[in-house]
């Protein structure tokens, strides 16, 4: 029996990257249980579309603040300790707040804590990538995405709970289960993970320095980012994809249940379909596409994304099968775009200053993203199709960015091929 490349990639990993990946189900399974119902849960607790959008903006605001300090904190405390502390603050604490939420202000406070996840996103990513070869980056991110998608097969448990208890009590239980599972993951990762070599170096260099002293070099880092065409490209890609993800994540459930009148329980089945398609592509199709590099698969994926959103916008009321087609195409597009975007972003960043650069890049990214939560909520109050129409414009911009960066993306492809041969 032939070995699947993506499974072989897991076997070949060791140390921090392997541990990061094998503990990921403890985070991603409960996350996928509750996330399809978040906006519906908020609406059931009498939040308006505009308030839901405002909560998303608060989340982005605190992500931006966290990003500003995140690089310095990660270098000062180390990747391992930073990940543990801020995983607990940004996921364990808000899960309890969500479980007991009563009104809009509970969600605002939870979003504020949850926004601190940008610090641990930075430190955890350093744990994941700083000990792996560049040539395996796409495989690692494909593996990570595959684990995330396969975790969605547990979503019917959420459907059973919602059908039996209704949305509010079911979500309270799901959030409490999430609190327990995620906390276990954070403890395991802290106990068994090792500090990376880059992390040890940065801890020595920042020993005895205050956070403000470490951050005094931020001006130079900002200049480094904006003087590098490669990092500006990473900045543009990350910003636009962040905006699209926030809009679709916040308003898909409301649009489907409120405008298309699809029963709430279907919200858990759509991610299952999506995940099965993504897992198939990552396991079977992805290895066959590696020879095409970044540009062509990403352009194809963005075109499929556009088609998917157009179908979503024009889906007739109660037309489940047409909606299924839109979700299917969205999954195909995700498989083509997201693993490449994630790995491309890491490859474009200077590895020596990865923590501080990623932190400051996300300050910029989230600064541009913050207004779009409220904007999308305002548009959704007018017509729930409008946020998705806004997304189509962003997909077109992404396609233009990828198209005009042909030489740079082709050069990265050649560099990876040389490293793989080496």
Q: What is 379-403 written as a DSSP string?
A: HHHH-TTHHHHHHHHHHHHHHHHHH
> What's residue 270's pLDDT?
87
Backbone angles phi, psi at 196, to 5 degrees: -75, 165
- Please identify every stretch of the chain with a pLDDT value under 70, giving residue numbers as ranges: 1-12, 133-138, 149, 350-355, 411-422
> What's residue 232's pLDDT?
84
| CA pair distance 326, 141, nearest whole angstrom | 24
Centre a 10 Å sphere on the Cβ of residue 134 and count the other Cβ atoms it contains: 16
> What's residue 415's pLDDT?
62
Q: Single out the residue of 247, 178, 234, 196 nearest to residue 25, CA to CA.
A: 178
Q: Single out the residue of 286, 277, 303, 415 nearest to residue 340, CA to CA.
A: 286
> What's residue 2's pLDDT?
47
Going from N- to C-terminal start, the domains of the chain cover 24-193+214-421
Centre a 10 Å sphere on the Cβ of residue 261 and count the other Cβ atoms it contains: 10
CA-angle at 208, arms to 204 and 210, nearest 5°: 115
| CA pair distance 5, 202, nearest whole angstrom | 34
> What's residue 322's pLDDT?
95
> What's residue 8's pLDDT?
65
> What's residue 105's pLDDT?
97
Q: CA 253: distance to chain centroid?
A: 18
Q: Single out the residue of 374, 69, 64 nearest to residue 239, CA to CA.
A: 64
> What's residue 5's pLDDT?
57
pTM score = 0.77
254 sits in the region (left: phi over 0; alpha: psi -120 to 50; else beta) called alpha
350 sits in the region (left: phi over 0; alpha: psi -120 to 50; else beta) called beta
User: Was domain 24-193+214-421 assigned CATH 1.20.1250.20?
Assistant: yes
Whole-angstrom CA distances from 387 to 5, 79, 253, 278, 283 are 38, 37, 12, 24, 32
> What's residue 412's pLDDT?
67
Q: Single out the residue of 145, 124, 162 nearest to residue 44, CA to CA.
A: 162
> What's residue 1's pLDDT?
40
Centre a 10 Å sphere on the Cβ of residue 1 and count the other Cβ atoms it contains: 3
């Amino acid at each position: 029996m032939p070995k699947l490349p993506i499974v072989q990639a897991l076997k070949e990993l060791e140390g921090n990257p392997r541990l990061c990946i094998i503990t990921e189900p403890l985070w991603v399974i409960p996350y996928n249980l509750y996330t399809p119902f978040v906006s519906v849960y908020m609406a059931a607790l009498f939040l308006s579309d505009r308030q839901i959008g405002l909560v998303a903006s608060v989340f982005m605001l605190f992500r931006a603040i966290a990003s500003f300090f995140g690089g310095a904190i990660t270098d000062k405390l180390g990747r391992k300790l930073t990940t543990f502390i801020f995983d607990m603050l940004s996921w364990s604490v808000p899960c309890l707040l969500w479980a007991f939420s009563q009104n809009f202000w509970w969600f605002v406070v939870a979003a504020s804590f949850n926004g601190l996840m940008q610090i641990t996103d930075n430190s955890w990513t350093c744990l994941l990538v700083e000990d792996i070869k560049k040539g395996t980056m796409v495989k690692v991110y494909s593996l990570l995405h595959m684990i995330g998608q396969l975790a969605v097969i547990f979503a019917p448990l959420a459907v059973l709970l919602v059908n039996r208890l209704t949305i509010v009590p079911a979500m309270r239980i799901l959030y409490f289960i999430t609190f327990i599972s995620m906390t276990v993951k954070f403890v395991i990762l802290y106990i068994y993970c090792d500090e990376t070599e880059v992390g040890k170096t940065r801890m020595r260099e920042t020993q005895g320095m205050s956070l403000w002293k470490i951050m005094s070099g931020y001006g130079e880092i900002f200049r480094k980012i904006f003087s590098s065409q490669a990092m500006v490209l990473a900045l543009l890609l990350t910003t636009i994809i962040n905006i699209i993800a926030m809009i679709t994540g916040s308003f898909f459930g409301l649009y489907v249940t409120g405008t298309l009148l699809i029963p709430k329980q279907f919200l858990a089945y759509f991610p299952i379909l999506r995940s099965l398609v993504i897992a198939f592509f990552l396991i079977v199709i992805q290895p066959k596409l590696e020879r095409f590099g970044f540009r062509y698969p990403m352009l194809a994926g963005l075109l499929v994304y556009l088609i998917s959103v157009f179908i979503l916008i024009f889906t007739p009321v109660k037309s489940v099968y047409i909606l299924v087609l839109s979700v299917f195409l969205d999954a195909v597009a995700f498989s083509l775009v997201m693993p490449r975007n994630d790995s491309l972003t890491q490859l474009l960043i200077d590895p020596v200053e990865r923590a501080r650069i990623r932190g400051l890049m996300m300050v910029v990214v989230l600064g541009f993203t913050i207004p779009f939560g409220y904007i999308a909520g305002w548009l959704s109050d007018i017509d729930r199709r409008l946020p998705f129409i806004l997304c189509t414009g962003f997909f077109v911009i992404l396609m233009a960015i990828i198209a005009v960066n042909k030489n740079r993306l082709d050069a990265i492809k050649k560099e990876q091929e040389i490293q793989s041969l080496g």
